[in-house]
Amino acid sequence: MAFVFIFSTAYFFYGLVPLTQGAPEVKFQITKGDSLKEIGDGLVQKSLIKSAFIFKLYALLSGKAQKFQPGLYDLNAAMSIPQIVNSLVAAGKDEAVVAVPDGSTLKDIDDILSAAKVIEKNSLVSFPAKRLNNSYPFLINIDIDSLEGFLMPDTYHFKMYSSVDQVLEKVLGNFQNKAWPLLVNNADWYRYLTLASFLEREVPKFEDRQMVAGIILKRLLARMPLQIDATVTYVKCGGRLKNCPNPLITKDDLTLNSAYNTYKNLGWTPTPISNPSVNAIQAALTSKASPYWYYLSSKNGETIFSKNLDTHNLNRAKYL
């Protein structure tokens, strides 16, 4: 018994010491409602401590397990468990680092921000966009109550429990700095933003995006349906692409009744269908002419172009 006690004690104190020396700082976030187990496991995953069990045991024995504060912390593996525990008891920076991926939709971004405790769920979705019409040059003449397309993809630092106004000030300001200079001198800039939102969801490579942009513009002039699968997915998934349980399109989906269904309707969708990157916007603005009228994305991400419908159907059978 004495041996077991000595061994257990030695293991406990060994677990308290720093994992390494001279380690770089690591951002570690605690969100409201995180359990002691989730925090300990998170510290191990970030390679900040050796043992989640020792961390939890020390936190309980020290009486600090219930005192951890939500927020973003600067930690490193050179800190001992007592030092880490003491840091987590102090108020964190109350900041969340949030990545908004290229091509996210407004509803996707609402989900991302609410999961990170930046905003209340659905508060971005329900925000009255027209309230900002006089706040930004790109919203002045837009008679559409939607911010879809204007929420610039990027990595952001937000205060946790922010208002939607505070979030939009940063995100729309980013759009104004990065995207608006590319669009401002084009009379049909909103259409090109919409085109960029198609390209972001449909085609991964810049050169292929330019070719597809040319095809879409050519089909518009010929009054052909655009037949863009991503628009149907947007309808089917209710504007949520990230958390859509079944994004694959069936033949029946092509008849969905929506102004966003480009198989059923001619012309543009009412708004963009995603929030495109600068890359997609640049591709939309620099479309390339080609002899092609059709395209598809193969299972490995390659874009296959066709000059006529017969070849396109053969390519569908071959690559999809």
pLDDT at 274 exceeding the cut of 70? yes
What's the pLDDT score for residue 7?
Answer: 40
Contact 119, 113 (CB under 8 A): yes
More confident residue, 23 or 8: 23
- Please report which confidence band the pLDDT of residue 27 belongs to, taking 50, 70 and 90 as the band edges: confident
**170-228 per-position pLDDT tens digit:** 999 999 999 999 999 999 999 999 999 999 999 999 999 999 999 999 999 999 999 99
pLDDT average, residue stretch 22-49: 89
- Please report which confidence band the pLDDT of residue 307 belongs to, taking 50, 70 and 90 as the band edges: very high
pLDDT average, residue stretch 130-150: 91
Its sign, for the CA torsion 155, 270, 199, 257, is positive
Contact 315, 296 (CB under 8 A): yes
CA 77 to chain centre: 29
- Please report which confidence band the pLDDT of residue 10 belongs to, taking 50, 70 and 90 as the band edges: very low
What's the pLDDT score for residue 272?
Answer: 98
pLDDT average, residue stretch 293-301: 93
Structure-token match 């090109």, residue found: 192
Distances (CA, A) of 96 to 27, 28, 71, 83: 10, 10, 7, 22
- Please report which confidence band the pLDDT of residue 31 belongs to, taking 50, 70 and 90 as the band edges: confident
What's the pLDDT score for residue 32?
Answer: 78
pLDDT at 15 exceeding the cut of 70? no
What's the pLDDT score for residue 91?
Answer: 65
CA 40 to chain centre: 27
What's the pLDDT score for residue 47?
Answer: 93
Its sign, for the CA torsion 194, 199, 200, 206, is negative
pLDDT average, residue stretch 26-40: 90
Output the six-digit token pair for 108. Answer: 């996707």
CA 286 to chain centre: 25
- Please report which confidence band the pLDDT of residue 142 belongs to, taking 50, 70 and 90 as the band edges: confident
Contacts 24+ apart (CB under 8 A), 93-96: 94/70, 94/159, 94/160, 94/161, 95/71, 95/157, 95/158, 95/159, 95/160, 96/29, 96/31, 96/72, 96/157, 96/158, 96/159, 96/160
Q: State the Cα–Cα distance between residues 242 and 247, nearest whole angstrom.
A: 9
Helices (H), the chain: 2-16, 36-45, 52-61, 81-89, 106-115, 164-178, 180-183, 189-202, 206-221, 229-236, 278-285, 309-319
Burial class of residue 188, CB neighbours in 10 A (0-12, 13-18, 19+): exposed
What is the per-residue DSSP string for 130-195? GGGTTTSTTTTT---S--TTTS--EEEEEETT--HHHHHHHHHHHHHHHTHHHHTT-TTHHHHHHH
In the 8-state DSSP scheme, what is residue 254? G
pLDDT average, residue stretch 268-293: 98
Q: State the Cα–Cα distance between residues 39 and 62, nearest whole angstrom.
A: 16
Side chain identity at 68, as an amino acid letter?
F
What domains are there in the chain, each with its CATH number?
2-89 (3.30.1490.480), 95-182 (3.30.1490.480), 187-319 (no CATH)
Q: State the Cα–Cα distance between residues 140 and 275, nearest whole angstrom.
A: 19
Distances (CA, A) of 26 to 43, 77, 79, 198, 294: 10, 8, 11, 37, 48
What's the pLDDT score for residue 4?
Answer: 40
pLDDT average, residue stretch 247-260: 95
Calculate the average pLDDT of the chain: 90
| Closest to 273 measured CA to CA, from 109, 130, 106 | 106
What's the pLDDT score for residue 5?
Answer: 42
**89-110 per-position pLDDT tens digit:** 876 677 888 889 999 999 999 9
